[in-house]
Amino acid sequence: MAGFGTKGLAPEQPCPCGGETYGTCCRPLHRQERAAATAEQLMRSRYSAYALAEIDHLLRTQPSDQPLRDRRRSLEANCRQLRWCDLEILATEAGGLDDLHGTVTFAAHYSASGEPGVLRERSRFGREGGRCDGAWLYLEALELND
């Protein structure tokens, strides 16, 4: 997928996260028409948000004490610099419908200035308010134990 400025991916096109079509996969989450049911679903939607520069979705799904303007600028710069190409889900732990916490380990392939790269991360997710009906949020990147 292309980087910054590719908002407006047609609903019938493949979803950047590798799921179904964008219109049935991540688009409803980006448009707040549906909430992520699992930690993995939120992780996939965040990957797609980076690929499509859906900055508002990224801001909404990660709590932070950092000023909103600074967060937005940082995310916009990231989306401009990287072209996200492929997502591999390597493992999930908890993060299901009835869980309060979960982790997703993934490899996100990208190119920067024409050079390929890969981001490997184990992400921790939690439910907003610590309730099973709370929205899933990205909390932090954890150390990978290779």
pLDDT tens, residue by residue, 27-63? 999 999 999 999 999 999 999 999 999 999 999 999 9
Contact status, residue 90 vs residue 105, Cβ threshold 8 Å:
yes
pLDDT tens, residue by residue, 98-108? 999 999 999 99
Q: Give the separation between CA 42 and CA 128, rounded to whole angstroms.
A: 13
From the list 54, 39, 40, the residue with the least C-alpha distance to 126 is 39
For the chain, give the longest Cα–Cα distance: 43
Determine the pLDDT at residue 132: 84
The b/e string for 85-121 (b: 16+ C-beta within 10 A; e otherwise) is bebeeeebeebeeebeebbbbbebebeeeeeeeeeeb
pLDDT tens, residue by residue, 64-96? 999 999 999 999 999 999 999 999 999 999 999
Pairing label, strands 115-127, 83-94: unpaired
Question: Which amino acid is present at 133?
Answer: D
Asked if pLDDT for residue 18 goes beyond 60, the answer is: yes
Kindly report the pTM of this predicted structure: 0.92
